[in-house]
């Protein structure tokens, strides 16, 4: 049996090997190739505390396949339909009880219904990247209506027109027509209000619908622990602020500098985000922790500072990876939710891959991205002058700018293979190698001694890595 075809959504499996994501550690990978024609390639993947072994012999299907059942290894037969995603709708779990529980038993805060009166205008601010966000919005709107808020007094605000159009269209028929759906435009002065003055005499301009609301409920995604903007109000600030604030906070030069210098620079950025939350006045937040292996995400609500710590404690066991061996091929994918296949997710996945790959290794970015190439990414097209591109990108701002920066760094370090819905010519102009199907991917794996595969890598973070130790050692040598 020969693997063929492309997978929509997550790269979950091929006929040569199955992809598993793992909870907190990556077992070491090994590949033994002898001179005998019957020598085999072994790929070790797994999730703590068990390993899953997949062996291909002469490019044929593995003789033994294991999966996890009740925390134990169980042998199973190959069933490709279990792993290969199609265009069919993936069955989703009912999130109503999870949303209700989060809002009725928030952390460090009274039940949310006690904050509501029928006259209140309620704004729901939805940050980027929230998993199953359309379902969550439907349930939050339903909760508000059940607690006496009329539909015409509810406004859902997205950080950009793209999210409003793509996500809004997926749930509009499930909520009353009178619920307003808006997109934030940081360049439109009519959409902004002066929320207050911050340190260094910086005015904070906030989306008008959020400012005018009697009750503001942000729905935020829990970010990986090492994500630069991690903090209690991440996803609200600067996403729903004015253009000047957004550009200053998300400028490539500023982000790259803070990541490099760390320490006080990171603390200052988080202090400013916390100050913005206080100025805006948000007593209650909702945080969504992604589920890496299917099933429902964890949904929490609470007082911002207490919620931040609780979400961190719950998310780290789900999202952390400890890497005790580097691989010369790292495959990262973005999961089954099409709304996660963005340049922002790709940049985060590349960060994870970089912590796992050897200095002469390769990265595979397996996505279904079909976004256009904008101003920042265009600076990579047909241009291999690293210093010039880095200089030009340093003043750019926004998600695409940071994605362009991550791609630039990755392709400078080694080969990057890219599966997407983007034209091959454009991919090559970006300095990436187009990857079309599982057959090509399988051939890449065969040529490498060790392979690490991480699904939904945009949600992960490297808690510890031998690469960090190697970098420190090299710094000492220098």
What are the extents of the domains in the chain? 25-88+324-477, 96-316
- Looking at domain 25-88+324-477, its CATH class is alpha beta
Q: What integer pLDDT is reported at residue 343 of this predicted model?
A: 93
Cα 17 to Cα 63: distance, rounded to the nearest angstrom: 11
List all residues 6 or more positions away from 267 whose beta carbon is below 8 Å from its beta carbon. none
Cα 327 to Cα 338: distance, rounded to the nearest angstrom: 28
- Is there a shared CATH topology between the 25-88+324-477 domain and the 96-316 domain? no
List the 25-26 sheet strands across, edge first: 25-26, 320-323, 461-465
Q: What is the signed CA dihedral for 450, 411, 456, 338, rounded to 10 degrees?
A: -130
> What are the residue ranges in the chain where pLDDT is below 50?
1-90, 469-478
Helix axes 399-413, 252-261, angle to 10 degrees: 60
Q: Is the pTM of this model over 0.85?
A: no
Q: What integer pLDDT is reported at residue 259 of this predicted model?
A: 63
Q: What integer pLDDT is reported at residue 224 of this predicted model?
A: 74
Cα 135 to Cα 123: distance, rounded to the nearest angstrom: 17
Q: What integer pLDDT is reported at residue 473 of this predicted model?
A: 39
Q: What integer pLDDT is reported at residue 19 of this predicted model?
A: 34
Cα 449 to Cα 259: distance, rounded to the nearest angstrom: 32
Cα 137 to Cα 223: distance, rounded to the nearest angstrom: 19
Residues paired with residue 74 on neighbouring β-strands, in sequence order: 67
Q: What integer pLDDT is reported at residue 226 of this predicted model?
A: 58
For 24-52, the pLDDT digits (tens) are 333 333 333 333 333 333 333 333 322 23
Q: What integer pLDDT is reported at residue 265 of this predicted model?
A: 64
For 193-240, the pLDDT digits (tens) are 999 999 889 999 999 999 999 999 999 998 876 566 557 898 999 999
Fold of 96-316: Rossmann fold (3.40.50)
* Residue owning tokens 């500098």: 257
């Amino acid at each position: 049996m020969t693997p063929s075809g492309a997978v929509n959504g997550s790269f979950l499996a091929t006929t040569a090997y199955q992809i598993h994501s793992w909870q907190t550690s990556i077992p070491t990978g090994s590949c033994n190739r002898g001179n005998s024609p019957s020598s085999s390639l072994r790929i070790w993947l797994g999730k703590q505390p068990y390993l899953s072994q997949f062996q291909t012999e002469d490019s044929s299907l593995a003789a033994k396949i294991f999966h996890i059942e009740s925390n134990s290894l169980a042998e199973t037969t190959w069933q490709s339909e279990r792993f290969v995603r199609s265009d069919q709708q993936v069955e989703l779990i009912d999130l109503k009880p999870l949303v209700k529980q989060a809002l009725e038993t928030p952390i460090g805060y009274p039940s949310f219904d006690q904050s509501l009166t029928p006259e209140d205008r309620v704004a729901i601010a939805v940050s980027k990247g929230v998993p199953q966000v359309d379902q969550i919005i439907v349930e939050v709107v339903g909760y508000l209506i059940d607690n006496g808020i009329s539909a015409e007094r509810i406004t859902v605000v997205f950080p950009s027109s793209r999210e409003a159009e793509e996500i809004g269209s997926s749930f509009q028929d499930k909520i009353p027509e009178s619920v307003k759906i808006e997109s934030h435009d940081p360049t439109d002065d009519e959409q902004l209000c002066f929320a207050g003055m911050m340190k260094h005499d910086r005015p904070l301009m906030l989306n008008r619908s959020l400012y005018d609301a009697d009750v503001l409920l942000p729905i935020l995604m829990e970010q990986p622990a090492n994500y630069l903007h991690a903090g209690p109000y991440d996803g609200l600030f600067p996403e729903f602020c004015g253009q000047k604030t957004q550009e200053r906070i998300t400028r490539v030069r500023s982000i790259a500098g803070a990541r490099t210098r760390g320490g006080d620079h990171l603390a200052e950025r988080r202090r400013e985000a916390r100050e913005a939350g206080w100025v805006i006045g948000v007593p209650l937040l909702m945080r969504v922790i992604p589920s890496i292996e299917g099933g429902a995400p964890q949904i929490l609500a609470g007082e911002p500072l207490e919620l931040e710590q609780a979400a961190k404690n719950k998310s780290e066991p789900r999202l952390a990876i400890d890497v005790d061996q580097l691989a010369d091929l790292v495959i990262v994918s973005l999961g089954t939710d099409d709304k996660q296949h963005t340049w922002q997710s790709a940049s985060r996945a590349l960060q994870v891959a970089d912590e796992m790959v050897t200095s002469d290794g390769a990265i595979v970015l397996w996505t279904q991205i079909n976004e256009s190439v904008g101003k920042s990414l265009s600076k990579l097209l047909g241009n291999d002058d690293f210093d010039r591109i880095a200089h030009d990108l340093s003043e750019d701002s926004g998600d695409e700018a940071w994605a362009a920066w991550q791609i630039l760094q990755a392709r400078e370090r080694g080969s990057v293979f890219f599966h997407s819905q983007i034209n091959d010519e454009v991919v090559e102009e970006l300095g990436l190698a187009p990857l079309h199907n599982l057959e090509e991917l399988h051939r890449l794996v065969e040529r490498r001694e060790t392979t690490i595969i991480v699904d939904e890598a945009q949600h992960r973070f490297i808690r510890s890595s031998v690469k960090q130790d190697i970098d420190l050692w090299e710094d000492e040598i220098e």
